[in-house]
Amino acid sequence: MSDTRELYTFDETYGGCVAGVDEAGRGPLAGPVTVACCIPGKNIIDGVNDSKKLSEKKREELYEKITASAISWSVVSIDENVIDEINILAATKLGMEKCVKALDTSPNIVLIDAVKGLDLPYRCESIVKADAKSYAVACASIIAKVTRDRFMRKADELYPMYGFAKHKGYGTAEHIAAIQKFGPCELHRRTFIRKFIDEQT
């Protein structure tokens, strides 16, 4: 509980209604970038932490608790076509703006993991590694990660040759080898995989 308590205490220093924003999937070669925003409930959920520090099973358990008790939360996925069209940073910002605006409760402040320059009608603060410092951002990171991982497991059923359920679209050696063997599918980000295709030709 100590780590979780520290994250919660960090948010309390801001006072009022704190929303956290984080993304999952900026780096993968395939699939969407998924962004979540969360205004957590007042009761601390034991175990909440940066999603990268948690097992997949633990993230799934916490996702259910967080979404059931949150004052408000939202999640938005920006697909690979938009990522290719406007670039990954712009796509991430777009997702962040959309998910904050989708909240049905207005926050006093929005804490954002690292990204700056969002067009939002609220006070915003960009914090490096916010998912390891802020309870609200950690909650958002879990929602984003679980939502995206579920999508990629479904994608694995459609495209089993790539191993999406295992690596979630990230550029593992296994994934790159599959792209070079089978070619890309519609979920691949063309701007991300170009060099692997070029190496093959």
User: If residue 112 lies in a helix (H) or strand (E), which one and from where to where?
Assistant: strand 109-113
Contact by Cβ (8 Å): 73, 37: yes
Q: Which residue has the tokens 């175990």?
A: 47
The set of residues, in sequence order, having a beta carbon less than 8 Å from that of 72 and lying 6+ positions away, is: 19, 38, 39, 103, 104, 105
Q: At 54, list the tokens.
A: 């948690």
Q: Which of 90, 109, 1, 97 is nearest to 45 (CA)?
A: 1
CA distance 12 to 36: 20
Q: At 157, list the tokens.
A: 């059923």
Contact by Cβ (8 Å): 34, 65: no
- The CB density around residue 69, as the number of other CB atoms within 10 Å, is 14
113 known member of a binding site: yes
DSSP secondary structure, 27-66, as one string: S-SBS-EEEEEEE--SS--TT---GGGS-HHHHHHHHHHH
- Known binding residues for a divalent metal cation: 22-23, 113
- Known binding residues: 22-23, 113
